[in-house]
Amino acid sequence: MRTITAFFLAAFSVPAIAGEAMTLVWQDDFDGILDKRSWHVVEGNGCPDHCGFGNNELQTYKGHARNLRTEDGMLIIEAHKAGEGFTSAKITTQPLGGWKYGKISMRAKLPNGVGTWPAFWMMPMTNTYGSWPKSGEIDIMEHVGYNQDHVHGTIHTEAYNHRIGTQKGGETLVETASTEFHTYAVEWDAAGMKWFIDGAEFYAFTREDGATSAEWPFDQPFYAILNLAVGGDWGGAEGVDEAAFPARYEIDWVKVWQAPE
């Protein structure tokens, strides 16, 4: 893992939503062992407070190499059938303290199989406006195995979330999501967000004038999450094909760019 300051990265800049150049402020290429200074490894099944992580998911997260490891310059998150259930892995960048605005991106190859539910997403460092969904959620990439060729990008807020049928998001066709690596990204500033796959925008959400925290709680630091869930309300909507396991989610890198303050 390489933690990088903007001072050395003037050449590695990308456009911001509002037109101001951003510089690379952090990245992990997964060239060595997983850096626990950057990543928190989640363990368990969410119990007792959020059994099934609020979505009736079937997996228990583990930190051992069977489910979570670096291999040939890749992060491998692998879900396995284990007795009556499943094991998988989930990691977060909470140790880094989060980012407010910027471009957050990864290059990855997704698993294949009904019942798999990989994601690259963000949650707030603190529940400034209250518990989920009041303080927001940013789903940079979500994929469910029964809808194999489609990738989704979504936000969740108090006003816009799937529990009340009002969530805001988009999806796009990616026929090689599980056979080739693709780059998934969100660009986020005070005016809104845009979602990209391989540099092509497929969805945008604009902050409306007069928006309150109910519509726009995204004015605070968020941390990134990588996980592979199994089953659940969405991932398991058409069942779980046990023959699809072990299922592998491969991440080449994660990078964050930000504009100067």
* Residues known to be catalytic: 137, 142
DSSP 20: -
Please state, in angstroms and as integers, the Cα–Cα distance from residue 155 to each residue in 51, 115, 119, 159, 212, following that order: 23, 22, 13, 10, 15
**Beta strands of 83-191 (E only): which ranges?**
85-88, 90-92, 102-109, 116-124, 137-142, 150-156, 168-173, 182-189
The number of C-alpha atoms within 13 Å of 103 and in the hemisphere containing its C-beta is: 28
- CA 228 remoteness from chain centre: 10
Given its phi and psi angles, is residue 140 left (phi above 0), alpha (psi -120 to 50 degrees) or beta?
Answer: alpha
Q: Please check whether residue 39 is in contact with residue 32, taking contact to mean a CB–CB distance below 8 angstroms.
A: no
Segment (H or E) for 213: none
Amino acid in position 248: R
